[in-house]
Amino acid sequence: MTAPPASTIPLAALERFCCAAFAAIGADEPTGEAATRAMLHATKLGVDSHGVRLLPHYLKALEGGRLNKAPRLTRAGGLGAVEVLDADHAQGALGAYRGMERACDLAADLGVGAVAVRNSSHFGAAGAYAMAAAERGFIGLAFCNSDSFVRLHDGAERFHGTNPIAVGVPVAGSDPWLLDMATSAIPYNRVLLYRSLGTVLPEQVASDAGGADTRDAEAAEMLAPLGAAFGFKGAGLAGVAEILSAVLTGMQLSFDIPLMEGPDFATPRRLGAFLLALNPEAFLDRAQFDAGMRRYLDRLRGSAARAGGRVMAPGDREWEVAAERRIAGVTLDPATAAAFAEIARDLGIDPAA
């Protein structure tokens, strides 16, 4: 389908469209709200690879049976400040948001809360869930794994997924300190972008089928771990995400997960996730914590920058993009705009505009 001309769409219109699309295929309200919330988190912050462009994929997975349209999330175990949540093959954002919500409840009472989520699926940007904890005044950490696409350091086969790690920290009177990172050198979507542009990849971010570094986007068969010559560090961080989100939950390891892009959209993927919340007030007075974070960030942002550079805290770029997009809206890429037009037509809902 030919993409419509590019146009700027308000964030509120994108939110309405996504919720309407989920409802139109029979997904229950909690599923539609959680999935939309997670996608809009990424779109607002300029992380477009994990934003509303995922809507067609999620609709396909729900309609195909991979995801449960009306899941019943249940407590499956736990001890003290730890709980296990069975997501019943829900869309991944629902299980992750519920897991972090429960982790925060535990942290409010016990100082720390840890929730392992079972039988989940792709949850988008890990930062959405770390952010959810920070918005409640807690330090939040989120981990998950995904299907294999990243080689090990000196490896020659796909092993880990991009296995993100996210941390959100509340900052009094300001946006949170927010780290959201893949443990691969670059996201796979960057390879696709370079292919479409016909440009070469940066050094040491992708490998060919034999594991050799390549700058040819067309020849890239796997991603490199974060760290280039020190890629053992990125591979080790990917292992942290793997252990917490797969081994500790009893779910699929990256190399056992069915491919996100199919062709099988009927079989649940059995992903896990791990959410952790820390209550600063269990460690020190809130005012002291707030003052420490403020001094840290003031000193960080005011530190000397090299020529032509700018020192930023994790999340600073994203908050600037969010401020712009709240006012100006979002211009969808051509492929996503075309997919949205097709969704509106097929489901009989008003276009995003």
C-alpha distances in Å from residue 35, one per residue of 27, 78, 108, 109 = 11, 26, 26, 28
Evaluate if residue 91 carries a pLDDT over 80: yes
List the single range of 102-116, 241-255, 295-309, 323-337 with lowest mean pLDDT: 323-337
State percent of the chain over pLDDT 70.
Answer: 98
Closest by alpha carbon to 44, among 156, 192, 178?
178
- Which tokens in the block code for residue 175? 């946006």
Whether the link from the prior residue into 263 is cis, omega within 30° of 0, is yes
Instruction: Indicate if the pLDDT at residue 13 is higher than 70.
Output: yes
- Rounded mean pLDDT of 129-139? 98
Could you give the CA distance from residue 265 to residue 271 in angstroms, rounded to a whole number?
Answer: 14
> Do residues 241 and 144 touch, judged by C-beta distance below 8 A?
yes
Q: Taking the domains of the chain in order of start, what are their residue ranges? A: 8-184+225-285+328-347, 185-224
Least confident segment among 113-122, 185-194, 339-348: 185-194
Q: Are 294 and 172 in contact (CB under 8 A)?
A: yes
Q: State residue 334's pLDDT score.
A: 86
Output the pLDDT for position 190.
Answer: 79
Q: Give me the pLDDT at residue 199, please.
A: 87
Strand, coil or helix: what is 206?
Answer: strand
What's the chain's length in residues? 353
pLDDT, residue 1, reads 40
**Which residue has 């505009």 as its token pair?**
353
Q: For residue 330, give Cα distances in angstroms to 7, 33, 352.
A: 8, 20, 11
**Residue 218 banded pLDDT, cuts 50, 70, 90:** very high
Helix axes 92-110, 127-135, angle to 10 degrees: 30
- E strand or H helix that includes residue 275: strand 271-278
Task: Tell whether the model's pLDDT for residue 225 goes beyond 50.
Answer: yes
H-only helix segments in 111-242: 127-135, 188-197, 231-242
Which residue, 224, 124, 204, is CA-closest to 166? Answer: 124
pLDDT at 4 over 60: no
Angle at 108 between CA 103 and CA 111, to 5 degrees: 85
Task: Please indicate whether residue 98 or residue 7 has the higher confidence score (pLDDT).
Answer: 98
Dihedrals phi, psi of 130, to nearest 5 degrees: -65, -40
Q: Give the pLDDT score at 264.
A: 94
The DSSP output letter for 63 is: H
Contact in structure between 14 and 352 (CB atoms under 8 Å): yes
Which of 279, 270, 231 shows the shortest CA–CA distance to 250?
A: 270
| Each residue's pLDDT tens digit, 32-64 | 999 999 999 999 999 998 999 999 999 999 999
Q: What is the mean pLDDT of residues 97-108?
A: 98
Q: Of the CATH numbers 3.40.50.1360, 3.30.1370.60, 1.20.960.40, 1.10.8.60, which one belongs to the domain with range 8-184+225-285+328-347?
A: 3.30.1370.60
Which residues have CB under 8 Å from 353's CB, separation 6+?
A: 7, 9, 13
Q: What is the mean pLDDT of residues 261-270?
A: 94
pLDDT score of 83 more than 60: yes
What is the C-alpha to C-alpha distance for residues 288 and 59, in angstroms, rounded to an integer? 46
Average pLDDT, the chain: 95
Using CA atoms, how far apart are residues 290 and 337, in angstroms rounded to an integer? 42
* Contact criterion met (CB below 8 Å) for 164 and 182: yes
CA distance 166 to 131: 9
Decide if pLDDT at 3 tops 50: no
Residue 175 has pLDDT above 80, yes or no: yes
Q: d(Cα 353, Cα 351) in Å, to the nearest integer?
A: 6
Instruction: Choose the weakest-confidence range: 165-179, 193-207, 218-232, 259-273.
Output: 193-207
pLDDT digits (tens, 9 = 90+) for 147-157: 999 999 999 99
pLDDT surpassing 90 at residue 193: no
Residue with tokens 């939950």: 249
Going by pLDDT thresholds of 50, 70 and 90, the confidence category of residue 6 is low
pTM above 0.75, yes or no: yes
User: How is domain 185-224 classified at the architecture level of CATH?
Assistant: 2-Layer Sandwich (3.30)
